[in-house]
Amino acid sequence: MSESVVAAEHDYIGLSEFPTMETATTTMSDKTKTRDNNNDGLNFKATELRLGLPGSESPERVDTRFLSLNKTSCPVSGAKRVFSDAINESNKWVFSPGSTTATGDAGSGSGPGSSVVKDGKSTTFSKPAVPVKEKKNSATAPASKAQVVGWPPIRSFRKNSMASSQSQKPGNNSETEDAEAKSGPEQQPCLYVKVSMEGAPYLRKIDLKTYKSYLELSSALEKMFSCFTIGQFGSHGGCGRDGLNESRLTDLLRGSEYVVTYEDKDSDWMLVGDVPWEMFICSCKKLKIMKSSEAIGLAPRVMEKCRSRN
Amino acid sequence: MALRLPSKVLKHILSFIDSNEDRNSVSLVCKSWFETERKTRKRVFVGNCYAVTPAAVARRFPAMRSLTLKGKPHFADYNLVPDGWGGYACPWIESMAAKSPYLEEIRLKRMVVTDDCLERIAASFKNFKVLVLTSCEGFSTDGIAAIASTCRNLRVLELRECIVEDLGGDWLSYFPETSTSLVSLDFSCLDSEVKISDLERLVSRSPNLKSLKLNPAVTLDGLVSILRRAPQLTELGTGSFAAELKPEAFTKLSKAFSNCKQLQSLSGLWDVLPEYLPALYSVCPGLTSLNLSYATVRMPDLVELLRRCSKLQKLWVMDLIEDKGLEAVASYCKELRELRVFPSEPDLDATNIPVTEQGLVYVSKGCRKLESVLYFCVQFTNAALITIARKRPNLKCFRLCVIEPFAPDYKTNEPLDKGFKAIAEGCKDLRRLSVSGLLSDKAFKYIGKHAKKVRMLSIAFAGDSDLMLHHLLSGCESLKKLEIRDCPFGDTALLENAAKLETMRSLWMSSCFVSFGACKLLSQKMPRLNVEVIDEHPPKTRPESSPVERIYIYRTVAGPRMDTPEFVWTLHKNPEIGVSKLAIK
């Protein structure tokens, strides 16, 4: 597995790559090469250190300027505009600082100052002047729906139950899909599977649809279970703070110690990574991270993989 | 020269007081009342497991028989609290095992419970009777098996919407072979199949069983067989109805239901096919509670069912019921007290949600006893809110979720300020309020001014400025829990109303504009609050002005907690120390 977290370059919000507003238009085009489903910088997003479900996005902060500015003119579209930007862009704080912006510098009370010093580098956060997109008529609207963490406020238990019941019913209410209808998993709002790890005190649930590749999935799992592996060396009952860090975990995971397996539709346990991603998310029912020694009977490839990693 | 009631007399008087709020007031009168009250309190409720230490609770209430604990903040339900945040039940169980061995009932909500924990419960409390776990996680069916096998007097075992590592259905066979004292069993959140024969035998030897909630893995055949053995049930959660419709199956089901003459509450109904609904008709006239929120059935079938439910008090349903269906509910279900309408497609982009504000207006007009509402829809109008407030001033809980953030009144394009003003002003007994849609500071000025009894307030994507938070904190006298996400609030309001926070249970703010510096200042100013910053990056390397992703502030007499994970920082009261992790090692 390649290094999935870019160290030090990412400040806590993950904005250091992003330009100030003035240079936004030019650099945005640079970002297009990472475009995926019209979500700018999706690959960056996937590797950003963030809280919340890995791969999911939180909406942008709504800058007070935008709200008050847009209200006087056209509240509905203005507000929508801001929010659609929230979904369509990667995480960015919207700050006030003295930077003049394309939308003008409204004098209304604005957020706190924004320069951050990290590793001697000073970055000003501001929102690039991305061309405004209305939610519906974007030509590259993704087949999967926009996701905001925790909104609408529905318990994941309910979401899961509905997701699994929808998968059983063909021809259900998926008329809202775009013309390019995708296969099964795309029509579900989310695809939660349980992930358990040997020796971990409890299991987690993740939404497979928020990942686009095995790489994303594995980095998310690494992150999620790092505290368990660390915990094995330290106190139990919570995440350890022994100073063991992620690199220790990645060593553990890359070393032959753990493999990720999954239970498919036929209730067979398979090694994750053998089949193409699309096929995998169609058939995966649960995930389990087990010790390589336990997984030996699973497939001859396990041994192969162990050898190739070492 | 004060007259003193002999403690025996006081004790007798207090034995009639059940409400903990009243008991809390009693305990403030004077020392002797405090002493008598604490020695007689049997049911203890701790709304925030970090507000007080388990040892202190055990010490104060030696007669405790029932303990209810809540852990994670409410927004954890919507994935806003990262895994590993906390809320561990173990320290409580350990403490109670040592100090309150006569504990009989434990109810936990949003806590992390391990198998060890469950085994400890089973081993430590000889007369254990009631275990209710709501939205908990961290345990497997092995832990459940331990409870089932060891707690000989178990009456209630309910797993409500928990995340359980399901190792198979064996746990069911661990109940004692002789008759059990089970009154209520809820395993609806488990995934795997249980052996029907095990379930049948269990039901047959549980003569007191009144409430049974099956998991989706139980088939229709299984359900029929269970109902035959337990016609005395008052609450039933069915398994999955997703089976091919066969005429004999339908008849059997119908007959089984018609034998359940005492059934009052019905839930489950996963994947129910409309053709099966008539099998339920016989129980409809007696139903007071019906949960159809997992039933993807269309309006006409729903109406056909609901028009027979004249005694219905609680209805949970999906938006497939449409406005027309709600109009029917308004005319047939005159006893309705609680209505929840969930979206069938919980997506941000969904625009074809079949209910509109009109549906709720119908119910508000027709159901005089309506007092609790949870309603999801795409957009709303001020006029509708005003009508609802006028018609139903007796509302106690009003949670409106306009799915589209910042959606204004779609007829007038104005914010929904006037509408929520009407709600706050008109519904004088309102205790819980969730607002949504486009709202300006005015709305919150009204809420602060009128909503004097609101205890819990949830806000998302709203307001213009700090003023909103200020209105709420300075106005809402009874406010106990405030949760806010994605609103442009900053430091001023928070710091100005710092004292208010000690009168509240907790405040959650995420994706707002609260700066790290303000958090520090707050924690220094208010030593009896835990100011927890949830953030992936160490606050020490950030300047004071940088905004904080999530904060959770709660009053506590237990001091900063010792079990915070890497990404939670309890700001230290001592400004020199700054940020303390209180690492164990």
pLDDT tens-digit map of A146-193: 567 888 899 988 888 777 666 544 433 333 333 333 333 344 445 677
Strands B506-510 and B481-485: parallel
Closest partner residue to A67 among B112, B138, B464, by Cβ?
B464
Q: Cis before residue A152, ω within 30 degrees of 0?
A: yes
What residues of chain B lie within 8 A of the CB of A58, using their CB?
Answer: 511
B500 touches B474 (CB < 8 A): yes
Higher pLDDT, A208 or B410: B410
Per residue in A67-90, pLDDT (tens digit) is: 333 333 333 333 333 444 444 433
Mean pLDDT of A109-119: 34
The top-scoring range by mean pLDDT among A209-213, A298-302, B24-28 is B24-28
Residue B131 tokens, joined: 């275990």
In angstroms, the Cα distances linking A221 to A9, B88, B120, B543 are 22, 22, 30, 31
Identify the pLDDT of residue B22.
Answer: 95
Residue B504: helix, strand or coil by DSSP?
coil
Identify the pLDDT of residue B566.
Answer: 84
pLDDT higher than 90, residue A198: no
Crossing angle of the two packed helices B322-332 and B299-306, in degrees rounded to 10: 10
A202 and B84 in contact by Cβ < 8 A?
A: no
Show contacts of A186-191: CB within 8 Å, 24+ apart: A186/A143, A186/A144, A188/A163, A189/A145, A189/A159, A189/A162, A189/A163, A189/B345, A189/B346, A189/B347, A190/A159, A190/A160, A190/A163, A191/A163, A191/A281
Per residue in B32-53, pLDDT (tens digit) is: 999 999 999 999 999 999 999 9
Q: How confident is the model at residue A114 (pLDDT cuts 50, 70, 90)?
A: very low
Per residue in B124-153, pLDDT (tens digit) is: 999 999 999 999 999 999 999 999 999 999
Strands B235-237 and B137-140: unpaired
- Lowest mean pLDDT segment, chosen from A285-294, B152-161, B359-368: A285-294
Mean pLDDT of B462-483: 93
- Lowest mean pLDDT segment, chosen from A226-230, A235-239, B280-284, B529-533: A235-239
B138 and A202 in contact by Cβ < 8 A?
A: yes
The model's pTM is: 0.72
Pick the residue of B49, B50, B75, B78 with the most A CBs within 10 A to test the interface with A by mutation. B78
- Lowest mean pLDDT segment, chosen from A33-37, A278-282, B384-388: A33-37
Identify the pLDDT of residue A226.
Answer: 66
A162 and B346 in contact by Cβ < 8 A?
A: yes
Distance from B324 to chain A by nearest Cα, in Å?
A: 19
Pick the residue of B347, B439, B570 with the most A CBs within 10 A to test the interface with A by mutation. B347
Identify the pLDDT of residue B347.
Answer: 67
DSSP, res B171? G
A162 and B344 in contact by Cβ < 8 A?
A: yes
In the chain, the amino acid numbered B524 is Q
Q: Nearest chain B Cα to A167, which residue?
A: B271
Mean residue pLDDT of chain B comes to 92
- Lowest mean pLDDT segment, chosen from A115-129, A157-171, B323-337, B561-575: A115-129
Q: Nearest chain B Cα to A141, which residue?
A: B349
Identify the pLDDT of residue A166.
Answer: 60
A153 and B460 in contact by Cβ < 8 A?
A: yes
Identify the pLDDT of residue B579.
Answer: 55
For chain B, give the percent of residues with pLDDT over 70.
95
Identify the pLDDT of residue A210.
Answer: 80
Per residue in B421-449, pLDDT (tens digit) is: 999 999 999 999 999 999 999 999 999 99
What residues of chain B lie within 8 A of the CB of A126, using their CB?
Answer: none
Q: What is the ipTM of this complex?
A: 0.86
Mean pLDDT of B324-346: 94
Q: Nearest chain A Cα to B566, which residue?
A: A241
Distance from B315 to chain A by nearest Cα, in Å?
A: 16
Distance from B18 to chain A by nearest Cα, in Å?
A: 32
Pick the residue of A239, A263, A287 with the most B CBs within 10 A to test the interface with B by mutation. A239
Phi, psi angle pair for A46, to nearest 5° = -65, -25
Beta bridge partners of B401: B376
Identify the pLDDT of residue A224.
Answer: 73
What is the DSSP track for B428-495?
TT--EEEE-SS--HHHHHHHHHH-TT--EEEEES--SSHHHHHHHHHH-TT--EEEEES----HHHHH
